């Protein structure tokens, strides 16, 4: 039989490729079949879901928060009742580990709020790089159930408005100068403005003693937004400020709520109206009427921002919005992207809470004694004279942004903006259990404070405090007032600098006058 001719080389190569293709196709199928068989028998492959209850996916648990001392702030501070991913649980903020980080930033506030507002505000600012908090407390914030928790948090110093504090402030340099004199002996917002300035004066000394580099005065309805920085950090933002700058101004953005049933503004509000300083002039005045919506001004409340001051010799406050220096005119800059987010009138109850804090008559003339800004005056009159239904209708017309088409138009023009980061941080903090664990960890201190109050120690101090407090808003005579104000003469270069009050943004009427 004649020998067979060898197969062509091309035929051999094609067969090899077919075999390889079959192998690559069959191998994954075989592995999948093996895994299925092992799972079917219940062995070989560990099924993680078998370790969890049938109703919950791994990582999704129904949290059981620790009990709170009061139900008033429970809804806001505990984790949500729905499933969550608690991988942030156990967040901690070790104060000592920040010892080598510079610059050190201190935030000072004067507050009468409760834990439901203070804790999210405080821990948010810890996240963005604030090292120390100086809390001057009174009212609800000074109660043992609140102050005991605050005192237990590292980096927090609580100062009570006691008789001794007011007597000390009555002898302070500010009280004996003229630049704040226009706000003395007036009720409500004017009295608060004076208290804030006096507290800021004391806070400067405390911040310097603690080795702080910067100090910022904020209210507990304001959050710093460090936009434009390399990181979402106030510390990093201020680290980039030139050394010859004494003061940094954060223009404020104002909250624009989209419904009338907000409970937790920091977690539920994402839309803000931009400051005049962060808008083109043509856009601001071109959209002014649509952005104002019949209110007295572009913003409901103030529009001149807040400022951070470098802690240095001769520093003094210049009202709640600015700082100054006895020895020189401060060199200041205004940030182009960073801002203060002001959550003003975010809850319908804010109407009545402001009304309940002031004893003015609801007339156009009398409210001028209590409030510096037009919208505050109008809101006080409505809250004092209207029914609940009328107040809610007024609130929706003047405060709530219900018109989605208008919202979209102003968002496209840049007048309104969406900022979600603070909301995400506060929600993350809540899910981590930071708020509830802080309250639970402070219970021994709270119980001790409650026992002390039950022994009438604080009640006696409170009686004395009320008598002293009236001195700040009622002068016994004009002669005695003049004696206090002129006891110490200010430095000549500083005598003409008056305190900067909360100011409304530029108005359209003034702009039209300038053009005419």
> Which run of H or of E encompasses 81?
none
Query: Which has more pLDDT, 101 or 70?
Result: 101
Sorting pLDDT into bands at 50, 70 and 90, what band is 193? very high
Measured CA to CA, the distance from residue 217 to residue 252 in angstroms comes to 13
Q: Is 437 exposed, middle or buried (0-12, 13-18, 19+ CB in 10 A)?
A: middle
Measured CA to CA, the distance from residue 453 to residue 456 in angstroms comes to 5
**pLDDT tens, residue by residue, 411-437:** 999 999 999 999 999 999 999 999 999
Tokens standing for residue 204: 């400067």
Q: Within a domain: residue 182?
A: yes
**Residue 419 and residue 270 in contact, taking contact as beta carbons nearer than 8 Å:** yes
Bridge partners, residue 160, by sequence: 137
Q: Within a domain: residue 61?
A: no
Tokens standing for residue 45: 């492959």
Query: Is residue 280 predicted with pLDDT exceeding 90?
Result: yes
Average pLDDT over residues 483-506: 59
Q: Which residues of 66-86 are buried (b: 16+ CB within 10 A; e: fewer)?
A: eebbeeebbebbbbeeeebee
pTM of the entire structure? 0.79
**pLDDT tens, residue by residue, 147-183:** 999 999 999 999 999 999 999 999 999 888 889 988 9
C-alpha distances in Å from residue 121, one per residue of 76, 117, 264, 267, 373: 12, 6, 11, 11, 25
Tokens standing for residue 431: 């899910």
Average pLDDT over residues 30-38: 71
Measured CA to CA, the distance from residue 290 to residue 273 in angstroms comes to 12
The pLDDT assigned to 486 comes to: 26
192 C-beta neighbours (distance < 10 Å), count: 17
Sorting pLDDT into bands at 50, 70 and 90, what band is 355? confident
**Residue 347 and residue 264 in contact, taking contact as beta carbons nearer than 8 Å:** no
Q: Within a domain: residue 74?
A: no
Q: Within a domain: residue 323?
A: yes
Q: Within a domain: residue 503?
A: no
C-alpha distances in Å from residue 118, one per residue of 5, 109, 222, 353: 93, 10, 11, 17
Q: Within a domain: residue 84?
A: no
The pLDDT assigned to 278 comes to: 97
Query: Which has more pLDDT, 59 or 137?
Result: 137
Query: Is residue 27 predicted with pLDDT exceeding 90?
Result: no
Which range has the worst mean pLDDT, 108-117, 211-220, 368-377, 463-472?
Answer: 463-472
244's CB contacts (< 8 A; 6+ apart) are 331
261's CB contacts (< 8 A; 6+ apart) are 348
Measured CA to CA, the distance from residue 238 to residue 284 in angstroms comes to 28
Provide φ and ψ at 147, rounded to 5°. Answer: -65, -35
Measured CA to CA, the distance from residue 150 to residue 159 in angstroms comes to 11
Write the DSSP symbol of residue 294: T
Query: Is residue 52 predicted with pLDDT exceeding 90?
Result: no
The pLDDT assigned to 176 comes to: 83
Q: Can you list the pairs that 412-415 forms with residues at least 24 positions away whose Cβ atoms lie under 8 Å?
A: 413/283, 413/287, 414/274, 414/279, 414/283, 415/273, 415/274, 415/279, 415/283, 415/284, 415/287, 415/291
Q: Within a domain: residue 33?
A: no
Q: Within a domain: residue 55?
A: no
Tokens standing for residue 199: 């507290």
Query: Is residue 488 predicted with pLDDT exceeding 70?
Result: no
Average pLDDT over residues 280-304: 97
Q: How many alpha carbons fall within 13 Å on the CB side of residue 307?
A: 27
Tokens standing for residue 367: 């409210």
Average pLDDT over residues 458-481: 38
Domain count, the chain: 1
Write the DSSP symbol of residue 502: -
Tokens standing for residue 203: 């806070």
Measured CA to CA, the distance from residue 260 to residue 409 in angstroms comes to 21
DSSP secondary structure string for all residues of 33-60: HHHHHHHHHT-SS--GGGGS-TT--TT-
**pLDDT tens, residue by residue, 375-385:** 999 999 999 99
The pLDDT assigned to 38 comes to: 61
Dihedral in degrees, nearest 10, Cα atoms 284, 287, 288, 290:
-150
Average pLDDT over residues 28-53: 57
Q: Which residues of 320-353 are buried (b: 16+ CB within 10 A; e: fewer)?
A: bbbbbbeeeebebeebeebbbbbbbbbbbebbee
**Residue 83 and residue 61 in contact, taking contact as beta carbons nearer than 8 Å:** yes
Average pLDDT over residues 186-201: 95
Domain holding 213, by residue range, is: 94-436
The pLDDT assigned to 67 comes to: 53
In terms of DSSP bridges, do strands 132-137 and 252-255 run parallel, antiparallel, or are they unpaired? unpaired
Average pLDDT over residues 268-277: 98
| Integer-rounded Cα radius of gyration of the chain | 30
Q: For the chain, give the longest Cα–Cα distance.
A: 140
Kindly report whether the peptide bond that precedes residue 103 is cis, defined as omega within 30 degrees of 0.
yes
194 C-beta neighbours (distance < 10 Å), count: 24
Q: Is 13 exposed, middle or buried (0-12, 13-18, 19+ CB in 10 A)?
A: exposed
Single out the residue of 105, 93, 91, 98 nearest to residue 226, CA to CA.
Answer: 105
Percent of the chain with pLDDT over 90: 63
Query: Is residue 215 predicted with pLDDT exceeding 90?
Result: yes
Residue 471 three-state SS: helix
């Amino acid at each position: 039989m004649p020998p067979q001719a060898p197969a062509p080389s091309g035929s051999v190569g094609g067969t090899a490729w077919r075999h390889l293709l079959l192998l690559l196709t069959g191998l994954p199928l075989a592995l999948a079949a093996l895994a299925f068989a092992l799972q079917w028998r219940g062995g070989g492959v560990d099924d993680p879901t078998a370790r969890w209850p049938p109703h919950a996916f791994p990582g999704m648990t129904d949290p059981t928060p620790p009990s709170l001392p009061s139900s008033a702030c429970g809804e806001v501070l505990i984790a949500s009742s729905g499933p969550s991913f608690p991988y942030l649980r156990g967040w901690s903020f070790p104060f000592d580990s920040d010892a080598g980080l510079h610059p050190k930033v201190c935030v000072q506030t004067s507050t009468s709020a409760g834990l439901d507002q203070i804790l999210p505000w405080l821990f948010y600012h810890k996240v963005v790089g604030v090292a120390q908090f100086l809390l001057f407390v009174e009212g609800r914030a000074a109660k043992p159930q609140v102050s005991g928790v605050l005192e237990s948090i590292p980096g927090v110093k609580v100062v009570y408005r006691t008789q001794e504090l007011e007597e000390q402030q009555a002898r302070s340099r500010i009280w004996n100068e003229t630049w704040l004199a226009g706000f003395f002996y007036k009720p409500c917002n004017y009295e608060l403005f004076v208290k804030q300035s006096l507290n800021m004066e004391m806070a400067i000394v405390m911040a310097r003693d603690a080795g702080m580099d910067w100090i910022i005065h904020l209210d507990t309805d304001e959050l710093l937004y460090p936009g434009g920085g390399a990181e979402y950090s106030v510390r990093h933002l201020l680290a980039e400020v030139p050394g010859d700058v004494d003061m940094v101004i954060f223009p404020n953005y104002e909250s624009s709520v989209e419904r009338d049933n907000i409970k937790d503004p920091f977690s539920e509000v994402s839309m803000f109206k931009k400051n005049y300083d962060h808008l083109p002039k043509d856009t601001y005045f071109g959209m002014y009427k649509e952005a104002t919506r019949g209110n007295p001004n572009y913003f409901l409340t103030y529009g001149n921002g807040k400022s951070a001051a470098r802690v240095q010799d001769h520093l003094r406050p210049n009202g709640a919005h600015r700082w100054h220096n006895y020895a020189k005119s401060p060199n200041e800059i205004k940030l182009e992207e960073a801002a203060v987010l002001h959550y003003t009138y975010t809850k319908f109850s804010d109407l009545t809470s402001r009304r309940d804090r002031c004893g003015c008559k609801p007339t156009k003339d009398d409210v001028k004694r209590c409030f510096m800004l037009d919208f505050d005056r109008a809101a006080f009159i409505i809250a004092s004279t209207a029914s609940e239904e009328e107040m809610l209708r007024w609130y929706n017309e003047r405060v709530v942004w219900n018109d989605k088409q208008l919202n979209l138009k102003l968002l496209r023009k840049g007048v309104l903006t969406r900022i979600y980061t603070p909301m995400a941080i506060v929600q993350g903090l809540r899910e981590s259990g930071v708020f509830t664990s802080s309250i639970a960890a402070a219970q021994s201190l709270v119980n001790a404070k409650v026992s002390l109050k039950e022994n009438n120690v604080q009640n006696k101090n409170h009686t004395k405090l009320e008598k002293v407090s009236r001195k700040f808003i009622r002068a016994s005579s004009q002669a005695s007032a003049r004696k206090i104000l002129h006891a110490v003469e200010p430095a000549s270069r500083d005598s003409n600098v008056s305190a900067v009050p909360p100011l409304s943004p530029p108005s359209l009427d003034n702009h039209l006058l300038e053009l005419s």
